[in-house]
Amino acid sequence: MQLDELQREAERLTPEERRKLIGFLVSIDIRRDRMELSRRLDDQDSQSWINLKEAERRLKTDGV
């Protein structure tokens, strides 16, 4: 199914169905974020690590 088809179908949903769909889509993002965080925390390769100054810089530039 193409994105435009999904969008048309979403427009036909009731408000309750849309809330459930939104919840489902958000849960997918949360699950992916959690898996990525776990992968990064488990990374034993010090080449992948950054120091605290770099972390602060990234947080500032990413608007966090």
pLDDT-derived band at 38 (thresholds 50, 70, 90) equals: very high
Contacts 24+ apart (CB under 8 A), 26-31: none
pLDDT at 48: 87
CA torsion through residues 46, 52, 55, 61, sign: negative
- pLDDT beyond 80 at 28: yes
Amino acid (1-letter code) at residue 42: D
Predicted structure pTM score: 0.59
pLDDT at 35: 93
Averaged pLDDT, 6-30: 97
pLDDT at 25: 96
Mean pLDDT estimate for the chain: 92
